[in-house]
Structure 1
Amino acid sequence: MSILSKFSLQDKVIVITGGTGILGKSFVKAIAEAGAKLCILGRNQEKIDERVATAREIGAEAIGLVADVMDEESVKAARGAVLAHYGTIDGLVNAVGGNIPGATIGDDQNIFDNKIQDTIKAIELNLYGTMIPTMIFGEVIAEKGAGSIINISSLAASRPLTRVLGYTVAKHGIDGFTRWMSTELALRYGDKVRVNAIAPGVFLTEQNRTLLTNTDGSYTDRAQKFINGTPYRRLGDPSELEGTLIYLLSEASAFVSGETVFVDGGFNSWCGV
């Protein structure tokens, strides 16, 4: 097998949760360009249809399903639909996640006055929203004895980012879950089943643009702190996650499992000096 062919996902069936999100948009594009057959999960039918159309315009086969990753029965129904349509599953990308406004602690807020129930919701969304699909779709991959599962971690799992308590706790859980699942699946199902995570840096998207930029286009204080802590001296673009995603989904990373790969312009490596 040539090195280029190792990066191909030709005819692989890849399920992506959160495919309607900002990062999910780049993930769908990259997976489609790599030749895979996609199943895109989300909660908004209109956005799902947009992502499916994007994949098909690239030339990939794609279907979309409405599913709630926090609902076990909903995810099981989606698994049944994927298997009925494609007959198998070769990869899973757990792209559901994000923060909840009520779970963010303001600079002027007493940290002990935070909305604990919103913090719990943020933990559940980011952690359980990854664990549930992994246990359901991952079972097919494990029993097949081959496939790749990708979780989404964060800088918050390695560096204590202020204000985002629930998100931080959840992403620590993602890293632990990634390592645990990678070990158990390999020991029980062999060396063709892999679980890894991607830890994105700070990416400027339409979703967070108002948080990172002022009305005049300049960066907010928080955004500037991220830039100052990044050797690349800039924020990332979602497209810059695509290469790492395809690498971890493909045979090019056949001996890589249990790892969290940072895509952050060097932020996590730099001490500031």
Structure 2
Amino acid sequence: MKYFMDDIKGKVCVITGGSGILGRALAMGLADAGAKVVIIGTKKEKAESVASNLNEMYPESTIGLAANVLDREALLNAKKEINDKFGLIDVLVNCAGGNNPTATTSKEILTNDDINDLSKSFFGLELDGFRSVFDLNFMGTVLPTMIFAKDMIGRGGVIVNISSMSSYRPITRVVAYSAAKAAVNNLTEWLAVHLAKLNIRVNAIAPGFFLTEQNRFLLIDKDTNQLTERGKKIIANTPMGRFGEPEELIGILLYLVSDISKFVTGVVIPVDGGFNAFAGV
């Protein structure tokens, strides 16, 4: 038996959040492997721009569509366009997500010195901010799966959810994001069991720390462009001593999409430079 990833060629792969930093890298990896790639983003111009750039390298490989992952009608319209252009969907990568300052505490750990002013703690968070982050990361995985993965029924297919290191070991301050990504892990395992007899595999990737549009404000000081104290703490607890590069997620994605991993389902795989393995001493 020969082990290649040639089976990815021609597969129709949808990536929600495909116009973001991590999504763009994953889309490039799939296009390079010969897949037909669909970039789903909230902004049409951005999604089309990413698709245009990929088509320059891999002609006629990619289309960009606008759809909010929390808008059923928009997703259904996108699915119709995908089916008309490329055919039935084989692979879904749920990459849409992120954090927001409104769901982030300023305080890492609450002490007795803070009890007279709880505004910067969990108790000061606005519920709307918490809900928006949870919905984006969790329901923004649930709804696209309900819609796009229907094409896999009777044919088989692959779903890859993008989780986070914060799902394993909740990271201070980002309470809604951590809770949502932990829910994504549970959903991944539940769906893997639910869909196994249909030959639909469901797995997740848990990136460690990569600089994105959502977390940059926490890790890099906007005035000095140097690491914040939080950024320094993360690097100190990452054995490889650096942030990940978006392209370093491509290998594990191609493995999970390919038939090389055809007996792998229901797992969440860290790509974190050793962060999850390190006890801090």
Is 215-224 or 112-121 further displaced after alignment? 215-224
Q: CA separation in 2, counterparts of 1:169 and 1:210?
A: 20
| SS in structure 2 of the partner of residue 16 of structure 1 | strand
Measure the CA separation in 2 of the matches of 1:179 and 1:165.
22
Can you give the 5+ residue segments of structure 1 that lack an aligned partner in the other structure?
none
Match of 1:158 among 164, 168, 179: 168
Q: TM-score, normalised by structure 1?
A: 0.93
Aligned to 2:93: 93
CA gap of 1:208–1:172, structure 2 versus 1, over 3 A, is closer
Q: CA deviation at 1:211?
A: 3.0
Matched, 1:219 2:227: yes
The number of residues matched between the two structures is 268
Which deviations, in whole Å up to 9, do the C-alpha atoms of 1:172-219 show, x marking residues without a partner? 1100100000101013x1xx3100000000012465444322344431
Q: Which residue of 2 aligns with 1:182?
A: 192
Q: Percent identity?
A: 43
Q: How large is the RMSD of aligned CA atoms in angstroms? A: 1.6
The amino acid that maps onto 1:68 is N
Which residue among 132, 137, 144 is the counterpart of 1:126?
A: 137
Note if 1:198 corresponds to 2:205. yes
1:63 Cα deviation after fit: 1.5
**Counterpart Cα distance in 2 of 1:229 and 1:30:** 28
Change in 2 beyond 3 A, CA 1:226/1:239: same
**Please, what TM-score do these two structures have when normalized by structure 2?**
0.91
What is the one-letter code of the residue matched to 1:202? F
Q: Distance in 2 between matches of 1:63 and 1:7?
A: 21
Once residues 25 and 128 of structure 2 are traced to their aligned partners in structure 1, the CA distance between those partners, rounded to angstroms, is 32
How far off its partner does 1:7 sit? 5.6
Q: Counterparts of 2:70 and 2:62 in 1: how far apart (Å)?
A: 23
The whole-number CA distance in structure 2 between the counterparts of 1:83 and 1:216 is 48
Between the aligned partners of 2:78 and 2:226, the Cα distance in structure 1 is: 43
1:66 CA displacement? 1.1
